[in-house]
Structure 1
Amino acid sequence: MTRPPTIFSDFDFKEFDRWQRQHYLLKSARKANAWAPLNTNKGAVIIDVGTGNGIWALEMANQYPTVQVLGLDRLLPNDQNGPENLRFVQCDVNESWPMSDNAVDFIFQRSMSDAMKQVEWGPLLKEMYRVLKPGGYIELIENDFWRHNPGPVQQAFDSFIQEQCKMTGVDFQLTDSLDTLVEETGFDQIDKKTMDIPLGEWPTDQELKQFGFINKEAHKAMLKNYKEFYIKQWGLSGPDFDLAVHEVLEEFDEYHSFTRFHCWVARKPL
Structure 2
Amino acid sequence: MTFLPSNGGCNGFQFTFETYLDSSSPKIEVDVKSISKYEEQFGRTYHSYRAGSYHYPNDPTETERLDDQYEIAKELMEGRNYFAPFSRKNPPRKVLDIGTGTGTWAIDMGDEFPEAEIIGTDLSPVQPDLVPPNVRFFVEDSSEEWIYAPNHFDYIHTRYTLGCWKDMKSQIIQRAFDHLKPSGWLECQELNTLPVCDDGSMTDDYKLLQWARDMDDASRAADRQLVIGDDIKRWLEEVGFVDVQQIVLKLPVGGWAKEPRLKHLGMLWQRNLSGGLSGLSVGLLHRFGGKTTEQVEVDLVGVRNSMFDRNAHAYMKIYVVWGRKPDVIS
Which residue does 1:135 correspond to in 2? 183
Q: Is the 8 A contact 2:103 2:120 kept in 1?
A: yes
By how many angstroms is 1:238 displaced? 7.2
The one-letter code matched in structure 1 to 2:85 is: P
Which of these residues, 230, 237, 250, is aligned with residue 308 of structure 2?
250
The one-letter code matched in structure 2 to 1:62 is: D
Which residue does 2:103 correspond to in 1? 54
Matched, 1:213 2:267: yes
Closer, same or farther in 2 for the Cα pair 1:54/1:172, shift >3 Å? closer
Q: TM-score, normalised by structure 2?
A: 0.74
Q: Is the 8 A contact 1:71 1:88 kept in 2?
A: yes
My pick for the range that moved more, 170-179 or 140-149, is: 170-179
Matched, 1:225 2:279: yes
By how many angstroms is 1:97 displaced? 2.2
Q: Counterpart of 2:120 in 1: which secondary structure? A: strand
Q: Is the 8 A contact 2:92 2:155 kept in 1?
A: no
Q: Counterpart of 1:139 in 2: which secondary structure? A: strand
Q: Is the 8 A contact 1:38 1:106 kept in 2?
A: no
Whole-Å separation in 2 of the counterparts to 1:75 and 1:246: 28
Whole-Å separation in 1 of the counterparts to 2:172 and 2:104: 22
Q: Is the 8 A contact 2:216 2:227 kept in 1?
A: no
Which residue does 1:85 correspond to in 2? 134
Which residue does 2:84 correspond to in 1? 36
Whole-Å separation in 1 of the counterparts to 2:237 and 2:296: 45
Larger Rg over CA atoms: 2
Matched, 1:261 2:318: yes
Matched, 1:23 2:70: yes
Q: Is the 8 A contact 1:227 1:241 kept in 2?
A: no
Closer, same or farther in 2 for the Cα pair 1:226/1:113, shift >3 Å? closer
Q: Counterpart of 1:112 in 2: which secondary structure? A: coil
Closer, same or farther in 2 for the Cα pair 1:189/1:244, shift >3 Å? same
By how many angstroms is 1:227 displaced? 5.6
Deviation digits for residues 156-207 of structure 1 (CA, Å, limit 9, x no counterpart): 2122123213312233542222222211111100001100011111112211
How many residues end up aligned between the 2 structures? 268
Q: Counterpart of 2:271 in 1: which secondary structure? A: helix
Q: Counterpart of 2:126 in 1: which secondary structure? A: coil
Q: Which runs of 5+ in 2 are unaligned?
A: 1-6, 14-31, 39-43, 46-56
Which residue does 1:156 correspond to in 2? 210
Whole-Å separation in 2 of the counterparts to 1:262 and 1:43: 22
Q: Is the 8 A contact 2:123 2:140 kept in 1?
A: yes
Which residue does 2:49 correspond to in 1? none
Closer, same or farther in 2 for the Cα pair 1:238/1:97, shift >3 Å? closer
Q: Is the 8 A contact 1:198 1:259 kept in 2?
A: yes
Q: TM-score, normalised by structure 1?
A: 0.89
Which residue does 2:170 correspond to in 1? 122
By how many angstroms is 1:14 displaced? 1.5
My pick for the range that moved more, 182-191 or 33-42, is: 33-42
Q: Counterpart of 2:96 in 1: which secondary structure? A: strand
Whole-Å separation in 2 of the counterparts to 1:99 and 1:230: 31
Which of these residues, 79, 95, 99, is aligned with residue 148 of structure 2?
99
Closer, same or farther in 2 for the Cα pair 1:264/1:96, shift >3 Å? same
Q: Is the 8 A contact 2:154 2:181 kept in 1?
A: yes
Which segments of structure 1 move beyond 4 Å, counting only runs of 4 or more? 8-11, 39-43, 235-239
Percent of aligned pairs sharing the same letter: 20
> Whose relative contact order is higher, 1 or 2, with alpha carbons under 8 Å and at least 6 apart?
1
Whole-Å separation in 1 of the counterparts to 2:104 and 2:87: 20
By how many angstroms is 1:43 displaced? 7.9
Q: Which runs of 5+ in 1 are unaligned?
A: none
Q: Counterpart of 2:137 in 1: which secondary structure? A: strand
